[in-house]
Amino acid sequence: MEITVKKEDIVSALNITLGVVEKRQTLPILANVLFEVAENSFKLTATDLESEVTTSGPLSNLESSGKTTTSAKKLNELCRLIPDGEEINLSLNGDKLNIKTTHGKYSLSTLPSAEFPVFDIDSGDSPLIIPAKDLRELIRNTSFAMGNQDWRHYLNGLYLSISGGEITAVTTDAHRLAVANLSTQSDNSFSGIIPRKSINEMAKFLSDEDGDAELKINEASLELAVGNLIFKSKLIDGKFPDYQQVIPSGESSVLEINVKDFSETLSRVSVLSSEKYKGIRLITSTDGVRISANNPEQEEAEEFFPASYNGEELDIAFNVTYLQEIMSHMQTDTCHINFFGSDKSCLLTPPGSDSPKYVVMPLLI
């Protein structure tokens, strides 16, 4: 194997693989990237046994094809530090990958490509075609509420359901819930839980794409194809909770707030909240809501936030971080906070829409 590539092309491809490369190195080869050369392109593949990403790039020159594996981190750092605009020559000599530039030469250890794990999954036959930006928004509007290393493993991911021409994404950490919907022309039917790490990688892969994404999914795995990248992931084996039962319904008292102003008020008041519980207290009235916080050092903060409110006066407390994260994902200027009682969860939605919608459980005052 011997090729010449532009520095920018190989660095761009390597950056895509780094999030998937296994950092704990349970197997030494999982810290490596599979480097394959054929015809007029190179292909890089990384896996952690739960997910896999493959991307490719153009060649400036091909002397001979071949494949090997080498440290993804070292190859990336080395190529990244080579001056911009340079061309890099890579050649395989025995168990060493030799790298040459205008001013230097380097060699990296390799492991045989035959030892690289094959990510063998059946990711379905019929792909779902969806604009990348729509899938990106679906993930963005819900992924922040995923569980993180929860013992209930089925909470550590995003539940995706496709049914009746609609895609639904749901996440929860048992204290809050995020739901977003998206219409689709597809007649596919599916439901499953995508792991947290895979969702975070998918969000990165979709961030700069404006075209279509292809999603293939079955009960055990998924495959996402976007641009010149293919990402595969196993799904979480478990049953997601019946989230519909968690969404409050019935008659509610509605507080209509300006998202930006409300978020800024929460930020000021929360400075003096408890470091441990991050609790803030809301007392509603006909002309707005009084927001307050205190901490074990006997420090206090209070602001009155003028807003439109219809309903009975309520005294209720929430984790301020949950409210602030929701505000940061609202894409409308205003937001409706629906209260169903001082001891019940509240429902937050954009005016005149039920997607995305968020549920937050109250704190005990």
CA distances from 159 to 52, 141, 147, 151, 323 (A): 20, 13, 12, 17, 22
pLDDT at 207: 84
∠ CA 245-247-249 to the nearest 5 degrees?
A: 100
Taking the C-alpha atoms of residue 45 and residue 54, their distance in angstroms, rounded to an integer, is 4
Which residues lie below 8 Å from residue 210, measured CB to CB, with a gap of 6+? 132, 133
pLDDT > 70 fraction of the chain, expressed in percent and rounded: 98
pLDDT in tens, 53-109: 999 999 999 999 999 999 999 999 999 999 999 999 999 999 999 999 998 999 999
Considering only 215-219, 303-307, 335-339, which range has the smallest mean pLDDT? Answer: 215-219
Taking the C-alpha atoms of residue 160 and residue 125, their distance in angstroms, rounded to an integer, is 18
pLDDT in tens, 253-291: 999 999 999 999 999 999 999 988 899 999 999 999 999
Among the listed residues 80, 72, 58, the one whose alpha carbon sits nearest the alpha carbon of residue 116: 72
pLDDT at 125: 59
Domains and CATH numbers, the chain: 2-115 (3.10.150.10), 128-244 (3.10.150.10), 248-360 (3.10.150.10)
What dihedral angle (degrees, nearest 10) is formed by the CA atoms of 155, 158, 161, 167?
150
User: How many CB atoms neighbour CB 147 within 10 A?
Assistant: 18
pLDDT at 184: 85
Taking the C-alpha atoms of residue 358 and residue 338, their distance in angstroms, rounded to an integer, is 10
pTM for this model (two decimals): 0.90
